[in-house]
A and B are shown apart, each in its own frame.
Chain A
């Protein structure tokens, strides 16, 4: 085995999060940076997202996924930040020893000063939904189908039903329609879509593809290849209503039913995970429960927009560079716990340094538990309401950003807990 290689900042994943983190780490003074990427090229999932809509916030223009990625990749190259592709990390320890394998370099081990977790997320598979039925071919997660079509140039079927109205499913409805495939319907369990409003309009409505809310697939038919699915209406408890069954003939079922942050490596490293977000518990510097290990992007929590990933990842990269430079282990500091109150779920970060809270604004990101009109977000410090902000409409499909400003705490400064809740007015 080769000798252990020391490195200042090691970035796990060369997608949008990893790329932005690497650039920010470099800008913050880190010199010895390496990006590890399992694909043959940098760019992550953006490589197969050939539709537009990326970059509106950061570049103020509408780019495709590959174009958005290319801007960061060329910056990374211009900064001479090395990236090793076709390399899979297989282990991370709590003392930041990272083991990876590749055909080109064999088994390598790196001792990192700081690590940025930027592994992204994966799609929830059929099994996790427990849809009963046949185990025929023709059932794919939407992203797998997207890869087949956009990267490999093959079509997964001719007549498609999409279960779940997540953004990838919506985008694929349009993409497959462009390719000449009949998309019968998008079937959504919830009474609302988890996708972005603009995607429902531009990907379904514009093409007359029905969005069937409060419906789900209750059976899968076919020996060999899929021949059809049974869909049923669901009641308020999301249980299928007997007698509402409808048979839809199709040869392909795409699943767009949720994304799961990819945290098996984080768990190996002893990083505490948040059961709601599926990602690591982090503080306002995006540091996980393990000192020197930072997290950003979809491995931390699933984002709606890549622009937000880039912003978050830049902060993680900057903090990782500072941590690697200081080379000292963090002492446990006084931290305020952030709690999701009624109507709110999955707040990131989960801890805030009490000093930070009173010196500069801290950005919280979360989702409402359900669609909320004329909502009021309430900030409480140790049980005392300190700030209220009105929002016209909040939906679980669009992440909410809330800036927590020092002036909220003129009267009451939290010591233990900051709670965010959402009230219907």
Chain B
């Protein structure tokens, strides 16, 4: 029997799991994929929003601003790359100035600190690659960038270190009332609990509607992105937003914490919640819309593209807290942008409400920090020499584009809630994220996963399920074909 079962191992579910461990509570988290952060949490803009773009008076606005302020400490505790690079919301012509003013006023109403309007000269001085037709911008120094999947992994790992049980490949099929408590049925067994947290992202409506008459409908809203090669590192210093309206609806250009540049997303409502395929039309739209910010955006610099689906609700606000007719069933639903930014605030508020509901006492043994991740690429030469002297596998580079060593890959598999697939290794270490996109390191990562997990290379997957990499041993197929003949 658990006190709480959380449905969904995205950034919201993992953040809630970690916060709940600040109380003496028995927590389980069920994730349908083979890894945490495998849905929208891995495929988004990776922006920590200042909070001027949410409508004043909404939960989105309030939790955006609070969440933003929690990021420094959170990322320090979990050793997650985070930079307050600031954001610029740009007016590209005089006609957009009233809209810019309106964003500024919303920011003031939402309590966004330190914003100021800057003129064209200052703007182009800050961002020389910006469209020279830009006329003014709103500068928000609290804007930031983070690695969203490393953050989700860090939250899950820290929750696990503090005693939360994280069940992967545990798809929830049904939530049932059970004599004043709840039963959460999963592919890995049924869990009884006093409280259910619905952090199921794109599937949150399904679980809510199983237990509550206050129904909701999540609309999968796909966003497509391009990643730009690292050789353009420094092309932009801050996150550049366009104003809503006209053509640039939501497409941004931003540096990433890893020295690449991300551009996107578009917004397209689709039927299939799991359809994260990119489209020719969508990618072209993103490229064109981003070119408005960055006229010299070179096509040859595009190293990869991806799509993520946001969990959109028509009411366009977060749904947080206990369902009115289902005591003990807490929603964290409709979490779309600025959901990543708001995640620490959502987790804090919801956990406090749940702890109160369960009359829980504080957990004095809560350990907020996770052991630092030693990243070869950010070490000084002296640190590298020392690391290799201590553990020679730091001297064996597996991913040459991102300079990821064997030691880092083995470490990410061995940690709590460790990597189980090639993509999980990639998200934790960046192996395969560089310009060759895994052409060099993938066979090596497969070999290490096979060795660490004690499985055949034939069982290693790209991202769980049937996403196998290899299908047979060479001699097996030859034998089969001979037998056929």
Contacts and interface: CB of A to CB of B under 8 A. Distances in A.
A158 B476 CA distance: 12
B259 to A, nearest CB: 13
Nearest to A132: B278
Contacts of B475: 153
Given A101-B397, A125-B303, A106 B389 contact: yes
Contacts of A86: 396
A179 B462 contact: no
Contacts of A133: 277-278
Interface stretch (A18-26, A220-228, A300-308): A220-228
Contacts of B396: 86, 88, 101-103
Interface string B266-282: 00000000101111101
Contacts of B443: 144, 147-148, 152
Interface in B454-470: 457-458, 461-463, 465-470
A49 to B, nearest CB: 16
Interface in A143-182: 143-144, 147-149, 152-158, 179-181
A56 to B, nearest CB: 28
Interface residues of B, number: 62
A2 interface: yes
Contacts of B274: 223
A140 B432 CA distance: 12
Contacts of A140: 439, 442
A130 interface: yes
Contact of A107 (B381, B461, B466): B381
Contact of B388 (A106, A157, A218): A106
B477 A220 contact: no
Contacts of B471: 155-158, 251
A179 B388 CA distance: 41
B474 interface: yes
B303 A127 contact: yes
A104 B396 CA distance: 9
B403 interface: yes
A383 B300 CA distance: 32
Nearest to B392: A103
B283 A180 contact: no
Contacts of B385: 1-2, 106-107
Given A102-B396, A104-B395, A154 B436 contact: no
Contacts of B436: 122-123, 125
Contacts of B469: 137, 156
A135 B225 CA distance: 13
A125 B470 contact: no
B439 A38 contact: no
Contacts of B280: 132, 218-219
Interface string A126-144: 1110101111110011011
Contact of B395 (A103, A132, A156): A103
Nearest to B274: A223
B393 A103 contact: yes
Contacts of A148: 443, 470
A133 B279 CA distance: 6
Contacts of A181: 477
Given A132-B283, A154-B458, A149 B474 contact: yes
B481 A127 contact: no
Interface string B373-392: 00000000110110011001
Contacts of B461: 137
A144 B443 CA distance: 7
Nearest to A255: B439
A99 interface: yes
Contacts of B102: none
B242 to A, nearest CB: 22
A224 B393 contact: no
B137 to A, nearest CB: 30
Given A107-B384, A123-B439, A125-B439, A155 B305 contact: no
B1 to A, nearest CB: 34
Given A106-B385, A130-B305, A224 B465 contact: yes
A90 interface: yes
A135 B306 contact: yes
B161 to A, nearest CB: 29
A100 to B, nearest CB: 9
B473 A155 contact: yes
Contacts of A104: 392, 395
B306 A130 contact: no
Contact of A38 (B282, B394, B397): B397
A155 B474 contact: yes
A21 B114 CA distance: 60
A149 B475 CA distance: 10
A149 B471 CA distance: 11
A351 B48 CA distance: 49
B105 interface: no
B473 A153 contact: yes
B395 A101 contact: yes
Interface in A3-60: 38
A24 B481 CA distance: 47
A88 B303 contact: no
Contact of A154 (B282, B305, B403, B457): B457
A147 B280 CA distance: 31
Nearest to B301: A128
B131 interface: no
A105 B391 CA distance: 12
A101 B407 CA distance: 13
The CB with the most chain A CB atoms within 10 A, among B394, B401, B403, B467, is that of B467
Contacts of B473: 153-155
Interface in B272-324: 274, 276-280, 282-283, 299-300, 302-306
A144 B381 CA distance: 31
Nearest to B474: A153
Contacts of A127: 227, 302-305, 437
Contacts of B276: 134-135
Contacts of B435: 125
Contacts of B403: 90
Interface string B430-450: 000001111110110001000
15 contacts: A1-B381, A1-B385, A101-B384, A102-B395, A103-B396, A105-B395, A123-B439, A125-B438, A134-B277, A135-B277, A137-B463, A144-B442, A155-B472, A156-B471, A224-B465
Given A137-B462, A137-B463, A218-B280, 7 more contacts: A88-B396, A122-B440, A125-B435, A132-B305, A144-B439, A155-B471, A155-B473
